[in-house]
Structure 1
Amino acid sequence: MQHPESSVAAPAVVAAPARPPARGRTRVRRAAVAVVAAAALAGALVPAAAASGGPDRSPGRDQALQRVLADLVGAPGGPPGAIAVLTRDGERQVYTAGTAEVGTRRVPRQDDHMRIASVAKAFSGAVALSLVDRRAIGLDDTIGQRLPQLPSGWHGVTLRQLLNHTSGLPDYSASEAFLEIIRADPRHRFDSRRLLDFVADQDLLFPPGSRYAYSNSDNIAVALMAEQATGQRYEQLLRELVHQPLGLRSTSLPQGYRLPVPFLHGYVVEPPDPPQDVSEAVSASGAWASGGVVSTPRDLTAFIRGYAGPELLSPRTRRQQQRFVPGGASEPAGPGANAAGLGIFRYTTRCGVVLGHTGNTAGYTQFAAATPDGRRSVTVSVSSQVTGDPALLARLRAAEERFVCALLRDR
């Protein structure tokens, strides 16, 4: 696969979409603000029944689960497309509904690239905890020890508190100065390693470790601490510590706005207007380690099985990873009752427990989870940001729980 923004990427990337009309540009800018503020915060659609299925169809699929996904796509304001990958003890089932690109009958596929939004935080957790395993860094190492150039009032914050969102760091993505840049130019290319500058004049929101508050700033600081501890760029650490051990061949952390092809197109859905394609509307540089990763359903499945399971980390480090803060919800909240661990969340559903992460950004909403033994996993990816519609989000969470129950069947 060729990655965007490289010297050889041009042939592998769809040309930038034509500049939308004024109203469309307003919707894109509004979506662009949502892409980075979510945590702080065209043609006819192919009918789901007609577009579901395709080359990724697998034997033994549960038709009730297929209906759940089709009903989500068919709901008022629902995403144009959805794909769920259910893996149980080596058997993989792929469910699709809707279309990968509005105006076509192409169904979503396991090898379609997509923005995984805040699931990228699990990747930064995997990097940090892998370094803990190697004793390159400690969970009780502080910002003051590793990043003394950051505000002195932040110096007592530990890596552990960054990973479980109890740090108190103000969220850079809620900064008005940051949001003004996005509104003016959604494709603005930020210096990702300077994102915390937007809140460097602010105090901690609360004493470190005293409570839970999800913040995009946390995982920027995690990546910076990893770089300081190793002398390597975060992107290289991702490749060496996560992508290579888990066999991820289609996962990248771009700086620009382009996506590798093929990709699952992401949309702003605001009926009665037609869906607005925002797949390449926003630069990933403004999210970086907190939400800029691009992956595929196939790679996302491999990642969450390795990270939630025993493949990537030692038993000692996994015990630390799975010390959960009750009530710490991912963004958006996953199915059931949520609790926050180190770069991972526990989802306690009516059918049992899985570990994973969620994410949402302009054009995409993600859920990836696995059983603690890594033998069973589920990913659900939809091609719009559903978090602005409480009823649609509730429908999505219910669908995620249905897939978790199918995952845990016979356990």
Structure 2
Amino acid sequence: MSAPSEARSRSRARLRLRLSVAGLAASAALAALVQPTQAAGPPPSPDKGLQKQLNDLVRTAGGPPGVIALLRQGDRTAVYRAGVADTSTGRPPRTTDHMRIASVAKAFSGAVALRLVDRNKLHLDDTIGKLLPSLPADWHQVTLRQLLNHTSGLPDFTTAPAFLAILQEDPRHHFDSRRLLDFVADKDLVFPPGSEYAYSNSDNIAVALMAEAATGRPYERLLDKLVYQPLDLRQTSLPQGFRLPRPYLHGYDVTPPAPPEDISEVLSASGVWASGGIVSTPKDLNAFVRAWAGGRDFLSKETRRAQRTFIPGAASEPAGPGVNAGGLAIFRYTTRCGTVYGHTGNFPGYTQLAVGTADGKRSLTFSITTQTSKTLKPELLAKVRAVQEDFVCALLRH
């Protein structure tokens, strides 16, 4: 691999300083592009107000070069997009472009765990001590339920100095994903299990390891059998390296006055694994969240009730539209127009929202090609959340 240019070195320096794996001049906006997928039924009429908001978003200083949103109502899907998928070619975002879904990957590990609960392979009260006895004794009383709703108290490995030092030295470093918790194995719990809420990337690493311990199968195989195959997700994967499947929605570091810098393949997915490493497409992600939020046959009624036991005020990272509350690898977003369920995520180059209705009949995915969070571009996040809420209102509109 050739030495990085000075510009790339500066970009990576910015990336390292602002790295947020906790959740981890743009081209002019395209004209309104609203089109149906191959699903039956006519597409909904284009909403010019929604399109204008996306156009404004990509024109915002520090905003994303591209954005794509899929609104699915029954068997009809509307696709809204603005900006570009790739600043070097100017092509528009597509529903089949691959992208990093960031912490929405936590919903996938939650899906694996809860489908194993339905098969009596796991139980929500199973503990780390029972299934992962080699982890620190101080963690042994933490349950699967507490990991899934982020009340475990596990220290977050993505904030460990040793982990960050490796990324600073080599952002594409290949981690042993199953040893990521070693970075905080010398740490006590941050608080007694179940006593507080704190979003932690360590939680879903432990969830995946518990699923492996309970079944004797690799997490990637469990994803395929329990999630990808039942939902026909043919373009979703959990890679270990830094490469993205082609074609892909390019992710950017946007720091005006410098032009957007492509950072799509700067980081290895191995360093976030079950907490943020999944690659999918807008089309696949929309199909997944439809089932995760309310698909009738995806979870049993009993497990669905447990999934939807919410902690008021527990926000996803980044916060989603409206008022947030946290359940088992799912969040409730109560907006002025109604309630949806799903997950958000942010990763260098990407910010994601995937939500659906409780009956599984309506779903929305909203993807932008730059990272934002409560600490990184909070003004942009506030604007994104406002636009997301308007899209939720359109989703719930009769």
- Structure 2 match to 1:196: 181
In structure 2, how many angstroms separate the alpha carbons of the residues matched to 1:323 and 1:54?
36
Letter of the aligned partner of 1:47 in structure 2? Answer: A
In structure 2, how many angstroms separate the alpha carbons of the residues matched to 1:114 and 1:19?
26
Deviations 1:240-292 (A, max 9, x none): 00000011000000000000010000000000001110011100000000000
In structure 1, how many angstroms separate the alpha carbons of the residues matched to 2:109 and 2:230?
15
RMSD: 1.6
- Structure 2 match to 1:8: none
Q: Say if 1:85 and 1:378, in contact at 8 Å, map to a contact too.
A: yes
Deviations 1:41-85 (A, max 9, x none): xxx5320035x5287796611111111111111111110000000
- Structure 1 match to 2:312: 326
Name the count of aligned residue pairs.
390
Letter of the aligned partner of 2:389 in structure 1? Answer: E
Secondary structure of the residue aligned to 2:158 is helix
In structure 2, how many angstroms separate the alpha carbons of the residues matched to 1:30 and 1:126?
34
In structure 1, how many angstroms separate the alpha carbons of the residues matched to 2:23 and 2:392?
24
Q: Say if 1:30 and 1:183, in contact at 8 Å, map to a contact too.
A: no
Letter of the aligned partner of 1:38 in structure 2? Answer: A
| Structure 2 residues not aligned, in runs of 5+ | 38-42
Asked if 1:394 is matched to 2:382, the reply is: yes
Measured at CA, do residues 185 and 35 of structure 1 come closer, stay the same or move farther in structure 2, by a change above 3 Å? same
- Give TM-score, length-normalised by structure 2: 0.95
Q: Say if 2:26 and 2:59, in contact at 8 Å, map to a contact too.
A: no
In structure 2, how many angstroms separate the alpha carbons of the residues matched to 1:210 and 1:308?
26
Letter of the aligned partner of 1:391 in structure 2? Answer: E
Q: Say if 1:332 and 1:358, in contact at 8 Å, map to a contact too.
A: yes
In structure 1, how many angstroms separate the alpha carbons of the residues matched to 2:95 and 2:3?
29
- Structure 2 match to 1:409: 397
Q: Say if 1:158 and 1:167, in contact at 8 Å, map to a contact too.
A: yes
- Structure 2 match to 1:53: 33
Secondary structure of the residue aligned to 1:270 is coil
CA shift at 1:29, angstroms?
4.3
Deviant stretches of 4+, over 6 Å: 54-57
Asked if 1:22 is matched to 2:6, the reply is: yes
Percent of residue pairs identical: 62
Measured at CA, do residues 289 and 246 of structure 1 come closer, stay the same or move farther in structure 2, by a change above 3 Å? same
Of residues 343, 356, 363, the one that matches 2:342 is: 356
The equivalences for 1:155-194 within 5 A come to 155-194=140-179
- Structure 1 match to 2:72: 87
Q: Say if 2:341 and 2:357, in contact at 8 Å, map to a contact too.
A: yes
Q: Say if 1:220 and 1:290, in contact at 8 Å, map to a contact too.
A: yes
Asked if 1:343 is matched to 2:329, the reply is: yes
Letter of the aligned partner of 2:5 in structure 1? Answer: P
Q: Say if 2:103 and 2:345, in contact at 8 Å, map to a contact too.
A: yes
- Structure 2 match to 1:153: 138
Asked if 1:125 is matched to 2:113, the reply is: no
CA shift at 1:32, angstroms?
5.1
In structure 2, how many angstroms separate the alpha carbons of the residues matched to 1:366 and 1:177?
28
- Give TM-score, length-normalised by structure 1: 0.92
- Structure 2 match to 1:370: 356
In structure 2, how many angstroms separate the alpha carbons of the residues matched to 1:36 and 1:396?
17
Measured at CA, do residues 298 and 292 of structure 1 come closer, stay the same or move farther in structure 2, by a change above 3 Å? same
Q: Say if 1:308 and 1:371, in contact at 8 Å, map to a contact too.
A: yes
